[in-house]
Chain A
Amino acid sequence: MTAVRSTRTVRRPPAVLLILAALGMAVFLIPLVGLLARTPWRDLPALLVGDIVTDALRLSLVASLGATGISAVVGIPLAFVLARVEFPGRAVVRGLVLLPLVIPPVVGGAALLFALGRRGVIGEPLHEATGLVLPFSMWGVIIATTFIAMPFLVITVEGALRNLDPRYEGAASTLGAGPWTVLRRVTFPMIGPSLAAGLLLTWARALGEFGATITFAGNLQGRTQTLPLAVFVALESDRDTAVALSLILVAISLTVLVVLRERWWKVL
């Protein structure tokens, strides 16, 4: 009657479970081993300061941060509306938000081209009115990246808002706080960890975006060639540069995900 067993850790997991878990881990580990095995360690410093690498790194940082910024400005309000406002067609909108997660990015890129390209449904009047051409430009990269990455922010924040106990916000209102004050002082602080995790995932996904970008924004070094595009092109011509670029992507992503997970990601 005094046998108190910890429910948090299983003392002796079945061997089959461990084997399957090891296989699961191998799925993630094996590609990394391949990459490290092909890394030209000695030439790495010289490769990392070549123009293709520095141009791509700069464009990738601008595009991924730009996409995260836009996602924050419009994605957080969208998550709020989806979580808190009843309106007809809400289920459809939720589906639309998830679409970029499941369709091949290249399909997303093609759809963007047909909508926002120079001959696109919206792109054509936009071009005629302002002379602006989105494909083959940095804005094209940011738009494609935002389309692919923003869902991560919307679903994370929407989930957190729906799990939030409405009584805290109710109490604040009862005490006389206006709707903006409630949002600022109660809602956002309470979903803070989810918000941070959502922004982080969005940024990480934006950094790795390839298919929609090359389809919608094209590929030109110094203008639209982000790290993933540079890797793709270099794989066929200059494998050492491709590996160096891949290592940068992996190193940045892994560092951010490992370091920040401890701080913010416990909610997921």
Chain B
Amino acid sequence: MTPAERLYAGLADPQSLADLDAEAWNGVIRVARAEMLMGTLGTRSMGVEILPRARLLLDEAVATAQVRQAAARYELSKIAEAMRDTGIPVILLKGSAYLATGLDAVAGRNIGDQDLLVPEADLNRAETALRAHGWQPAKAKGTYDDDYYRRWMHELPPMVHETRGAVVDLHHNILPRTARLTPRPDLMFAGRVEVEHGLFVLSPEMMLLHCATHLAYDGDFLGGPRNLWDMDRLVRTFTGNEGFWDRLQMAAAAHELTAPLMRALRLAAHLYGTPSPGAMRGRTDIVDRLAIAKLYGHDAYGRQRRHGAAFALFVRGHWLRMPPLMLARHLTTKWRARRREARAAGR
């Protein structure tokens, strides 16, 4: 088995981790760190007897995730406060939504940026409300980047809180305007579910669809194992709901997201044995095979992604000038911004 196979098997069936020796763990830890699944593996493996040093490293990742989740919860309350008097319905997306709903997908997960969906007509008002509460656009208004986001993207440029450094991404749809598929935000708002602080999340089927869409549009299946794990957790949470699969199928058709949904279900079944009705998965195609090669294609160091020399130079320059604390904080922000730009450019 390759380290990636062991990781996916370990997430699906934590007992399988009990058999791993130190060298197997060394491979699994590299892939788990590269794919941001270390904290998740840490929570999944609790109660399983594994090597003590592996336990130590997993517990560190879990503790980090817990601190980040607490901070993310705080951000949610502050966002709610900023939006309270506007009357704008705010739907939390992805990690923020799993956190606010207490879904299984959140266990051990590092939550950074807050992703919010608001009606397009309210976008400017929402931005104004956030600005009044300290979130400022990371890109100066009128610059090329700012213009690019506003014209072509399904979100505004990231907004960064002036004192806390927390990042909010304000979306008006779940796919860029440039995408061929056109999900319908009106239906998303119609089906929204209220959670804490007067904030909302997507309906279960829409939440799953959004997750599936991400996988297909994140380019190069970057972050695929993490995303598919979310799929797996969501499916297992919702599959018991009466009529869930029918509603999912109808929602997929209404939003023209049937193809990405089927692919995501196929890949999740491949990695984690995620259950779904056969008709919802469809047939394997060439893209699946490429994706699978990618999803299992880590070397012994968990290496998969390649970043350009520009990033390399950026970090080098900063390591020399900045105290490491600042570096850590600054880098995570920059790093996230960079990933987003890569996504926006379709790379």
Q: Do A and B bind each other?
A: no
